[in-house]
A and B are shown apart, each in its own frame.
Chain A
């Protein structure tokens, strides 16, 4: 199906392990974003990308790495997972620079034990 898809939907991992969350969009949108959603904090921006090979830090980037070798993919890697990274992660994309309309994936619920 066309749209923006995230995988996996659910992930349980252990402290110290590396985890990669995948995000794929079929619209060729230029902008892509990774947010984490936690109770009491709302959606906080981790990283964003304006185009392939262009990425930049958001509000809470520590402990995360991103890459964007192709326009349609924007994976997020937790290099050494910590319990504080237990959260729901959302990927989003936008067609234009104003970013007035974000399309979100269904999220990945990550638990770090």
Chain B
């Protein structure tokens, strides 16, 4: 079973559209991370959310950590082709310090 469930698995949208990616778990996390991976490269960290209910913004990307620290979301406003990539959530469940990853959301933004 996957500790972190991401949805949707795939997204294909037009430039300018908005989208939301979800990362859910039944476990509590002290923090959750979001990474973006481009083809042929390793994942790169976008943000870490730490406090329940926290909202962080990175330009057109908005990240939210659930109040119970079991889930997180990534919202992209006015998506651009440069946002194309695989978005991964990750975290170490309570008591562990070894990060586990969700299966990822593959996003394609068409010009």
Contacts and interface: CB of A to CB of B under 8 A. Distances in A.
Contacts of A101: 33, 45, 48
Given A90-B42, A92-B42, A100 B48 contact: yes
A42 B104 contact: yes
Interface residues of B, number: 23
A100 B103 contact: no
Contacts of B88: 42-43
A60 interface: no
> Chain A: interface secondary structure?
loop
Given A42-B103, A58-B98, A99-B92, A106 B48 contact: no
Interface residues of A, number: 24
Given A100-B48, A101-B48, A107-B41, A43 B101 contact: yes
A105 interface: yes
Contact of A48 (B43, B44, B98, B104): B98
A74 interface: no
Interface in B43-64: 43-45, 48
B93 interface: no
B99 A102 contact: yes
A101 B31 CA distance: 11
Interface of A: 33, 35, 40-45, 48, 58-59, 90, 92, 97-107
Contacts of A107: 40-42
Contacts of B92: 98-99
A58 B35 CA distance: 20
A35 B100 CA distance: 10
Contacts of B43: 43, 90, 102, 104
A104 B42 CA distance: 5
Given A42-B103, A43-B88, A45-B100, A100 B42 contact: no
A42 B2 CA distance: 10
A44 B48 CA distance: 20
Given A44-B101, A106-B42, 18 more contacts: A33-B99, A41-B103, A42-B2, A42-B103, A42-B104, A43-B43, A43-B88, A43-B101, A45-B98, A58-B98, A99-B92, A99-B97, A101-B48, A102-B35, A102-B99, A103-B45, A104-B42, A104-B44
